[in-house]
Amino acid sequence: MENSWPFPVPNERFDQRNEMFKRAAWDESFHDQGVRFYQEVVFKGTSGYRKLDYAFRNAAWNLEWSAALGNSRSNYGLYTWEGLPEKVKKCAETEGPVRMPPEEMTPLIKKAARFYGADLVGIGRVHPNWIYSHEFNLVTREHYPLELPEGLKHAVVLAVAMDYEGMKTAPTAVAGAATGLGYSRMAFAANLLAAFIRFLGWRAVPAGNDTALSVPLAMAAGLGESSRMGLLITETFGPRVRLCKVFTDLPLVSDTYRPFGVTEFCRSCKKCAVHCPSQAIAHGEMTTQGPNFSNQSGILKWYVDAERCFSFWAQNRMDCTVCIRVCPFNKPQGMLHDAVRGVIRRYPQLHPLIVKMDDWLGYGRKTGAETFWHSEN
């Protein structure tokens, strides 16, 4: 099965217990960092770290934290794997499943996903090794095997864009609000799309960061490429997206992997590695061995040192996203930026010049939180 994929796939499934944010809950060597990140509240007088900024950030996360918990566990709240409201359940049960040729149903599912809030949507086949072997439940601290229901052969992958102006303030709480709103919108959109598929009479399992690896699923769904910073790079928004997915047995037409020059560009660029506060992003060439067991080694790619990355998050007491801010693919849409994306795709010899131009024009520089608060947009 591995030979049928246009990019490397892992030889085995990854245990989510070893993911860095889960390790902070059980690994004694990261206990103090976990307490700082998850529990401590420290306001500063500096713009971007005041109570005002934290309140803004926490409110953006509120739907995810109160009704979804896609970062903490699977099959819960807005990400529940089954069920419909009793009031309208007969809609799904009457006359059996809606059956249409996959080529006719596919654009309707994509239309619905965009209507419910996705900025990008694609459909891909599901490789079994992208599903976590075990889940670590951050709420209960339980560790148990994870299996999807049989027959869910496709994943509808949704990308939700994060606010460009907010992200320019990274690593402040205002950028954290842009991230949090992305997660809350993910839960909202995935829940509604899963409900739509269930009302059609088919099974649908929505997921946020839980259940499966989002980046390879998004690559298989034609949404972008992996990058030096480990995140998905999309052609429209660069890395400034959050990903969720809905696994389903609804017959659909899969999209195809569509590289557009990211790997070649990342070899020349290295801006994310240079500006990473914890120097967690590799400066060198791709390798098959990650820095520690929070990486799924065995695939040729750039690995991020998750331990270094999380240590800065704990020091900062919130997420970072500096790598997203400085990435040259992180640009608003427009004729000029679209033209540059075309040049990146067609002329790899110009990549070093494009990186220099990005610096000369001041892209990726940090914007103060006060600028965000007092701008008209």
Q: What is the pLDDT of residues 39-84, one digit of tens each?
A: 988 999 899 999 999 999 999 999 999 999 998 999 999 999 999 9
Question: What does the alpha-carbon distance between residue 295 and residue 227 come to, in Å, rounded to a whole number?
Answer: 15
Task: Kindly indicate the confidence band of residue 1, based on its pLDDT and cuts at 50, 70 and 90.
Answer: very low
Mean pLDDT of the chain: 95
252 and 156 Cβ atoms separated by less than 8 Å: yes
Give the CA dihedral 295, 190, 179, 25, nearest 10 degrees: -50
Q: What is the pLDDT of residues 246-259, one digit of tens each?
A: 999 999 999 999 99
Question: Using CA atoms, how far apart are residues 104 and 99, in angstroms rounded to an integer?
Answer: 10
User: Do residues 319 and 171 touch, judged by C-beta distance below 8 A?
Assistant: yes
Please report which confidence band the pLDDT of residue 18 belongs to, taking 50, 70 and 90 as the band edges.
very high
Total residue count of the chain as it appears in this document: 377
In the chain, helix, strand, coil percent, each to 5?
A: 45, 10, 45
Q: Which residues contact 278 (CB under 8 A, 6 or more apart)?
A: 305, 308, 309, 311, 312, 320
What pLDDT is stored for residue 286 in this prediction? 97
Largest Cα–Cα separation, the chain:
62
Confidence of residue 4 (pLDDT cuts 50, 70, 90): confident
Q: Which two tokens stand for residue 48?
A: 């971007």
pTM above 0.85, yes or no: yes
d(CA 277, CA 274): 8
> Tokens at residue 267, please?
């070899």
d(CA 244, CA 232): 12
Nearby residues of 303 by Cβ (< 8 Å), 6 or more positions away: 230, 282, 287, 289, 290, 291, 295, 297
Alpha carbon distance 175, 155 (integer Å): 29
pLDDT, tens digit (0-9, with 9 covering 90-100), for 219-239: 999 999 999 999 999 999 999
Per-residue confidence (pLDDT) for residue 364, from 0 to 100: 95
pLDDT at 3: 56
Q: What is the sign of the dihedral through the CA atoms of 333, 335, 339 and 345?
A: positive
| Element housing 157 (H / E) | strand 154-161
The pLDDT score that the predictor gives to residue 128 is: 97
Does residue 2 register a pLDDT over 80? no
